[in-house]
């Protein structure tokens, strides 16, 4: 009588391993892709908020200039004045909500953000639970982040709005860059500000 030995042949073993690997590799690659997408999405939301904050800081400077002009009486304080002096046109300027200067408006003194911070370095993140629960990005102190924010303020090349002269307009471009997995990412927001008095 011939006895047959039960067991797996080499071909059956290879097929079984291929099925097991396909069952494991598929979900692992989906999880890895999902984690990468989550990280990219999180960083893009942070960068978008930082770019929007840059626009709002420049808008605050403009509004402080208008308030200073109102305090001064006649229209002697320009709406597009740089807090450090001169006209508010800059290329590659940094802005920081932690760095303020004061402008003297006759009888009043207004605290306004500085625009002279260099944007060459990364933003720092400071989370002080005694101040708030959210943390702040700035240039003074904190943990170095991957984000860098630069503001460009220029006079528009031409007056897109025919009723408003070009001298009553300024273009503000807020650019936030970061490096993710060796690829430079960028969020750019643009806004046109007007002398609305």
Cα separation of 68 and 62, whole Å? 10
What pLDDT, on a 0 to 100 scale, did the predictor assign at position 188? 96
| Residue 142: C-alpha distances to residues 34, 99, 127 (Å) | 30, 14, 8
Looking at the chain, the whole-number percentage of residues with pLDDT higher than 90 is 16
DSSP state of 91: E
Q: Is the pLDDT of residue 71 over 90?
A: no
pLDDT tens per residue across span 108-157: 788 888 876 677 788 888 776 555 556 677 777 778 889 998 888 888 87
Residue 161 has pLDDT above 60, yes or no: no
Q: Is residue 3 part of a domain?
A: no
Q: Is residue 4 part of a domain?
A: no
Q: Is residue 184 part of a domain?
A: yes
pLDDT for 23:
84
Domain presence at residue 5: no
> Quick one: pLDDT band at residue 166, thresholds 50, 70, 90?
confident
CA 11 to chain centre: 56
In a domain, 112, yes or no: yes
Domain span at residue 153?
10-194
Q: What is the mean pLDDT of the chain?
A: 80
Domain count, the chain: 1
Average pLDDT, integer, range 21-28: 83
Q: Residue 33 is encoded by which pair of tokens?
A: 């892709």
pTM of the model: 0.75
Chain mean position to CA 36:
20
Contacts of 53 (CB under 8 A, 6+ apart): 97, 137
Is residue 1 in a domain?
Answer: no
Q: Tell me what pLDDT residue 131 has.
A: 56
Looking at mean pLDDT, say which of 24-28, 92-96, 182-186 comes out highest: 182-186
pLDDT of residue 189: 96
Q: Looking at the predicted structure, is the pLDDT value of residue 195 above 80? A: yes
pLDDT value at 187 more than 60 = yes
Residue 85 covered by a domain: yes
């Amino acid at each position: 009588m011939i006895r047959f030995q039960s067991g797996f042949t080499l071909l059956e073993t290879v097929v079984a391993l291929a099925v097991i690997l396909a069952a494991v590799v598929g979900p692992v690659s989906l999880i890895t892709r999902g984690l990468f997408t989550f990280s990219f999405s999180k960083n893009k939301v942070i960068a978008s908020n930082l770019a929007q904050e840059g626009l709002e800081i420049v808008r605050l400077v403009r509004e402080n200039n208008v308030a200073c002009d109102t305090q001064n009486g006649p229209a002697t304080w320009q709406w597009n004045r740089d807090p450090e002096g001169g006209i508010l046109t800059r290329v590659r300027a940094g802005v920081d909500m932690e760095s303020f200067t004061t402008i003297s408006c006759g009888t009043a003194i207004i605290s306004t953000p500085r625009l002279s911070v260099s944007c060459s370095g990364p933003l720092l993140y400071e989370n002080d639970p005694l101040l708030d629960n959210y943390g702040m990005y700035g240039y003074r102190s904190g943990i170095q982040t991957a984000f860098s924010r630069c503001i460009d303020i220029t006079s528009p090349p031409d007056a897109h709005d025919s009723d408003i002269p070009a001298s009553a307009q300024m273009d503000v471009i807020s650019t936030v860059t970061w490096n993710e997995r060796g690829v430079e990412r960028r969020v750019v927001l643009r806004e046109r500000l007007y002398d609305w008095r």
